[in-house]
Structure 1
Amino acid sequence: MKPASGQWIIEEFEKWAPRSLAVEGDRVGLMVGTLNKPVKKVMIALDVLESVVDEAIEKDVDLIIAHHPILFRPIKQLDVTEGQGPIIEKCIKNNITVYAAHTNLDIAKGGVNDMLASSLGVENTKVLVPTDEIPLKKLVAFVPEGHVEEVRQALGDAGAGFIGGYSHCTFASEGVGTFIPGEGTNPYLGKQGKMEFAQEKRIETVVPEPLVKKVTKTLVDVHPYEEPAFDLYPLDLEGEKVGLGRIGELREEMTLEAFAEHVKKSLQVPFVRTVRANDRMIKTVAILGGDGNKYWSYAQRAGADVYVTGDIYYHVAHDAQMEGLNMIDPGHHMEKVMKEGVQKELEKRLSSKPNAPTVIASEVSTEPFICM
């Protein structure tokens, strides 16, 4: 059986973390090589360093999906003897494609920030820094009696009808549908050339715009008619907020010292830098993967007892301290949680295909700092 194509794999991946979610100016997508090739093995990596590429070569990897882009700033020349040159040369010579999912993976539901929050036991999370809003559509479908519950359930399972903490939300009203089956049709109800009056129900539900294609395909697949009738309307309603970081609560409050130890253990880091601003017990936690310096005020305004992020600057620490916000910096490398997280999610999304590739997580550490 022919292996899956790199293009198909990335299309499935982007149903979870579409490039459209990335913040403006971020470098995401294809970095090196081509997606127009068969892929037997995918490796998930945090960074693309030469040691990571050597690992990919040793393990016969065809595609690396990385969190941090290998090409973040434009390069004016490519010297294969220094800097990123040897990395790119090895990828090309060994036919290894590199794809980057950066802030789109940070923002995606179930992405890096949700993985970090889950690792820390932070529950009932909300977006910390909104970057966009997902538009909503109203789907109206006309379904013959006897099939209403089947269609209603299928639409909800496909992602329609989510309002706040409620799922499968619909409204139904009764009516009569009319149609004349034409020549060459095989009608579920009625006969060719004769007007049919069908007892139907009008089912209404809301659909996030990115799921419209999936939900309407589900409707067509489960509906008994050859040509189901349905309408889509734009809604002037506030859609789901998406963005960077998460804020939520611990099940039990703890001291800052105890929480710092909890962070070290949960994220498997040898040390953390801690900024003490007060002696409050820690209950509400804001977390943002990577460099979160410019977003500390969001955590402060949201009422966080502590802000967990990487690469905290000296003067930012002073500013937050003066505003009464405790901070913990486990380092940028805490995002390594994405390797296993993305591996599991991608395996799940590709598992329905018999020619799905093997997905592995890189075992190479790219942490540049050491404790001395």
Structure 2
Amino acid sequence: MSAKKTTRVNDILGLINGLYPPALAEDWDNVGLQVGDGRATVNRVLVCLDPGAAALQQAEQMGAQMVIAHHPLIFRPLKRLSPVDETGQVLFRAVQQGIAVVSAHTNLDRAADGLNDWLAERLGLQQATPLEQAGGDLLKLVVYVPRGHEEKVLDSLFGAGAGQVGDYDRCSFRVAGTGSFRPGAGTDPFIGQPGTTETVEEVRLETILPKHLLRKAVSKMIQAHPYEEVAYDLIPLNNGRHDIGLGRIGWLPQPVSVAEFSAQIKERLGLSALRLAGPTDRPLKKIAVCGGSGVSLFGEARRQGADCLVTGDVKYHDAQRARSEGMLLVDAGHFATEHLMVAGLAKKLQVAADDRQLPVEFIEMNTEVDPFELI
């Protein structure tokens, strides 16, 4: 009789990374495992928007060993770990209860069949494509490394998110050759002496990365490289996937008035009110959407001929811009434009786990509410 199969935290991370690769995340983001042991056993997972105290409480009550949230629990480097604020309390509680906490944030936003596709579908958009496509956003990075140091340099690049090609990661190419250089006066070369031309057996390493990871990847690479001055090339690429990127833009089945579309948004996102800025007297047909805080895509939406951008977290000057530039801006709220990820992600992960015969149950958190109240 074969041993009963178990599911571990690392198995769930593998499912997430396969569907929503960490390399898609913005360089300022913090996705993946935030708290927990990748070797720990999991049979129930809670999926939520925010990894707060309420999520940990529900996870405990339902016997879950893992929480997958959209928003990161640890967003910025911690200067101290103390249960005096909610983040500290959640961290302490998660460790004490043995509950792993994972974030799928901007990688879920940018991925195909991720949050923004779900939002576009919920609002009835057809032929939706990424508003800010990542397809022409790739770079080839070439770096020259002395023989024997290539694995350390590659590990640094892969750790920063480079080397992702579709469903494959840690992708690279290498070829051996001979490098030459002459260190200048006042240098401290890893190999050779100042003023003397040196020839060295080197390896040319190549990998790819999205532009938004460039600064992080180059910084990690330079830290891992033994040379005082690192020689590397960056080559723009025009190939890549065109179904990933921030936001979505698509078409309504037929033109509708602003009043009609507003009513549809409220009904489909469970809202009692919206904030609008810009012209309200024109029919709407081509619609851009971005879950959460997507006002930065206003210019791109306008450039692509959108009649309207639906997002959240609209500020005063954003509204003024919408009025002056003549494109409707709809603030449906951060919560409402993102909370649909709970059901979407739970269903995707359950299907993926079932396909791999992993015994685990994904449960949607059903008690989250918008922190804002309209009175």
Residue 96 of structure 1 is aligned with which of 96, 99, 109?
A: 99
Residue identity matched to 1:210 = G
Residue number in structure 2 paired with 1:341 = 344
Of 250, 256, 259, 1:257 maps to 259
Per the alignment, do residues 52 and 212 of structure 1 end up closer, same or farther by CA in structure 2, a change over 3 Å counting? closer
Displacement over 3 Å in runs of 4+: 131-135
Question: C-alpha offsets along residues 154-177 of structure 1, whole Å, 9 cap, x if unaligned?
Answer: xxxxxxxxxxxxxxxxxxxxxxxx
Residue in 1 that maps onto 2:291: 289
For 2:86, the equivalent position in structure 1 comes to: 83
2:315 corresponds to 1:313? yes
1:195-274 correspondence runs (5 A) = 209-211=165-167, 238-241=239-242, 242-274=244-276
State the shift of 1:364 in Å.
1.8
SS state of the match for residue 209, structure 1? coil
CA 1:118/1:2 → structure 2, altered by over 3 Å: closer, same or farther? same
CA distance in structure 2 between the partners assigned to 1:91 and 1:62 by the alignment: 9
**Residues in 2 aligned to 1:63 and 1:133: alpha-carbon distance in whole angstroms:** 36
Q: Output the TM-score relative to the length of structure 1.
A: 0.71
2:130 is matched by which residue type in structure 1? V
The secondary structure found in structure 1 opposite 2:16 is helix
Taking the TM superposition and a 5 Å limit, the aligned residue runs for 1:115-264 are: 115-133=118-136, 209-211=165-167, 238-241=239-242, 242-264=244-266
SS in 1 for 2:166: helix
Q: Residues 323 and 349 from structure 1, CA distance in 2 versus in 1: closer, same or farther, beyond 3 angstroms?
A: same
CA distance in 2, matches of 1:272, 1:317: 13
Q: Which residue of 1 aligns with 2:58?
A: 55
- Residue deviations 1:44-72, cap 9 Å, x none? 11111111110111011111111100111
Give the whole-Å Cα distance in 2 for the aligned partners of 1:104 and 1:295.
Answer: 17
1:104-156 deviation digits (Å, cap 9, x = unpaired): 00011000000000000101011101245487xxxxxxxxxxxxxxxxxxxxx
Select the structure of larger CA radius of gyration: 1
SS in 2 for 1:86: helix
The one-letter amino acid paired with 1:77 is: R
Q: What residue in structure 2 maps to residue 331 of structure 1?
A: 333
What SS does the corresponding residue of 1:351 show, helix, strand or coil?
Answer: helix
Match of 2:190 in 1: none
- Aligned letter for 1:81? V
What is the TM-score of this pair, normalised by structure 2? 0.71
Amino acid in the other structure paired with 1:94: Q
Deviation at 1:305, TM superposition (A): 0.7
Paired position in structure 2 for 1:25: 28
**1:22, 1:107 within 8 Å by CA — same for their partners in 2?**
yes
CA distance in 1, matches of 2:120, 2:266: 14
The SS at the match of 1:23 is coil
Work out whether residues 49 and 366 of structure 1, in 8 Å CA contact, stay in contact via their aligned partners in 2.
no
Equivalence for 2:158 = none
Q: Does the 8 Å contact 2:5/2:359 carry over to 1?
A: no
* Paired amino acid for 2:166: P
How far residue 354 of structure 1 moved from its aligned partner, in angstroms, is 3.5
Do 1:44 and 1:361's aligned partners in 2 also have CA atoms closer than 8 Å? yes
1:79 and 1:212 mapped to 2: Cα distance? Answer: 39
Shift of 1:367: 1.5
CA displacement 1:302-331 (0-9 Å, x = unmatched): 111110000001001101211111011110
Structure 1: segments with no counterpart, 5+ residues: 136-207, 214-233
Identical-residue share of aligned pairs (%): 32
SS at match of 1:210: coil
One-letter amino acid of the counterpart of residue 261, structure 2:
F
CA shift for structure 1 position 366: 4.0
Deviation at 1:276, TM superposition (A): 3.1
Report what 1:148 is aligned to.
Answer: none
> Do the aligned partners of residues 296 and 237 (structure 1) sit closer, same or farther apart at CA in structure 2, a change above 3 Å counting?
closer
**Aligned-partner Cα distance in 1 for 2:305–2:359:** 45
- Other-structure match for 2:199: none
> Cα offset for 1:255?
0.6
Contact 1:260 1:274 in 2 (8 A): no
The number of residue pairs the alignment matches comes to 280
The Cα of 1:238 is off from its aligned counterpart by 2.9
Alpha-carbon distance change, 88 to 132 in structure 1, aligned in 2, over 3 angstroms:
farther
Where do 5+ consecutive residues of structure 2 fail to align? 139-163, 170-207, 209-236
Superposition RMSD in Å: 2.0
SS of the equivalent of 1:105 reads: helix
CA distance in 2, matches of 1:352, 1:18: 19
